[in-house]
Amino acid sequence: MGMSPVYGVPEDAESIATIHRALELGIDFIDTADAYGDGQNEVIVGNAIRGLREKVVLASKFGITRSDDGTLAVNGRPEYVSKACDASLQRLGVETIDLYYLHRVDPVIPIEDTVGAMARLVQTGKVRYIGLSEAGAQTVRRAHAVHPIAALQTEYSLWSRDPETELLSLCAELDVGFVAYSPLGRGFLTGTISQTDHLTDGDRRRAMPRFADGNFEANNQLVSVLRQAAQSEGCTPAQLALAWLMSRPGSIVPIPGTKRLKWLEENAAAVAVAPSSAILERLDEVFRLNAAAGTRHPAAQMARLGI
């Protein structure tokens, strides 16, 4: 998502070079969505993997739509599923999407109807596996009864530990993989954002509660503990935050988004970080459930989560 104009202005050439370097480093899971840049993100990814398709596990998402006036909505209507998939396949320049998610659950359309249409994409060979993003536990169960859900994608990090209350155990029970998005707290857990003035005017984080005045300062106190712990472990805060996530039980795959080569290489090196049990316990204690100040999305977006 960061390769679209969301967190500052990206550069397509740098983005493509970053994807190529990821593949060189052995990172083969690429995640995009039709909502990122109104489809332009899929175009960038498609350009980057042209001629390299066999090296990539490609994921995309559908279901968030934008009207002409910029208003966002959710569409899980069965007739829309195939239409959205065909458009993504064309932008990506591929014949099959490996993992296709419903980006947000439509509160009006029964999940059985949406997943039934997604299952037909598997039957026709347009999609290999299907997933859900930010779905509640009962929705996952109902969806899984229609067609196996391969993965659930939900925000999970040191400062967003909500999945631990129910979703992680459910995924283990149903043998559903868990994909953790924003594992670095939209950059906050890197320890490199010392004040919101460093964010450009178009940066979406300016509208997020955890980056708001008051919450920002309180959350920075949490990150100061992460900085100290990373120093003691001889790594960066970002690497320690990722190592903590990879130390959690279950089938968890973090997807740290970046549009820069230097951050990609730093993130990739996190697989070599093995934090001590004392450090992991300290992080668990400080970054307990609901320790972060502010919700992870603005109110309107929070209403669309966990349905």
Q: Active-site residue numbers? A: 36
CB neighbours (10 Å) of residue 216?
A: 20
The SS3 call for residue 59 is strand
The structure tokens 């999609």 sit at 127
One-character DSSP codes across 263-300: HHHHHHGGGG----HHHHHHHHHHT-TT-SSS-SS-HH
Query: Which tokens hold the place of 287?
Result: 């970054």
Reduce the DSSP state of residue 130 to 3 states and report it.
Answer: strand
Which of 49, 31, 127 has the alpha carbon at shortest distance from 84?
A: 127
* Alpha helices for the chain (secondary structure H): 12-24, 40-49, 78-92, 111-124, 137-146, 167-174, 215-233, 237-246, 261-268, 277-286, 299-302
